[in-house]
A and B are shown apart, each in its own frame.
Chain A
Amino acid sequence: MEIKVLKSVLEANDVVAEQTRELLDENGVRMVNVMGGPGCGKTTLLERVIPKLGVRVAVIEGDIRGTHDAERVSRLGVKVIQINTEPFGGECHLEASAVRGAIGEIELDKVNVIFVENVGNLVCPAEFKIGDHLKVVMVSVSEGDDKPAKYPLMFRVSDVCVLSKSDLLSYVNFDEGKFKGDLAGVNFKMPVFKLSARTGEGVDEFVGWLRKKLSL
């Protein structure tokens, strides 16, 4: 017997993501999914941005193992929940059900924004919806200017690109023209914010954009 299906394989995940999004909207909470390769500066960006946002924040940290990033962010005095994917087989991304579970530990009437720092990876997190309002893809200048060409899906699904560690530009071979040209060929509307969390260059501009985009 043949059964025609024609459904997305990830429907089970996407349904949970939609439910999460509805829950957040009902409570007036915005969720930001921060993605990028290991070491691109996701945690450091949160450390710089959260104090400047001036709203109540909670953070969901996703890592295969360990609590290192959660410990760093908790020093900001915000609620942090660590998801380790190792018990689930060491998944290289966060799925909607894991994020939904973490949100269950947050009092939604006490926060305005939830940041999700996804597992460090430019591949897998792009496939899995989690119910966020905004997707940030981060690349540091030291990783090379070829990332949009190598990982087009990630740059296509994301809403904004943060180009981090701009203070290192004079020490690395990073062709900004090539990077932006390749990016236009994947997601031409995507704004790019070049910044350095270390020197502070560009951070305020990014925070301003974020506040506007999240209607804070």
Chain B
Amino acid sequence: MRFSNLRPINPETAPGVSYKEEETPEAAFERFVSERYSRLVGAVSLIVRERHTAEDIVQETFARAYLNWSKLWPEGNPAGWAHRVAVNLALSWRRRATREARALLRLASTNAQSFSIPDVDLHRAVAGLPPRQKAAIAFFYILDLPVEEVAAAMGCRPGTVKSLLHSARGRLRKEMEAP
């Protein structure tokens, strides 16, 4: 793959990739992966509830980003693009997972193949949320994205994201207050 645009990143036009003067595209991509990988896997794992699937989805996301890197860097928004691809892949995986696989995941809610959120009650509560609420929660809290970016990643309006977050919070409060 040839990278022909070897010029410094303009921090005003390249959100999602931290500025490094005169960085090559390959180095920028490596740094992009290194900076984003772990938390993106954490966010996706909240949706798919299985570690290896989450890693596979994130690696697929970064592979697609690599194919499009000349369009995404330095003047695109690689982080926003990656978030959108990752959430679509995760929700698509959820839709395609068989009933049996979902039942197995529910039974193995604390198995070694998933990441455990330290707060057990929070872990259990998040696990019970519908997929789109989980996606909104994952990207808003774990990736610390503003509502507008979560909406862009999920392909919906900011108002919808706010509604999803509000519903998830209400549901969690109700569960925590339950005897």
Whether chain B is bound by chain A comes out as no
The interface of chain A, by Cβ under 8 A from chain B, is: none
Which residues of B come within 8 Å of A, CB atoms?
A: none
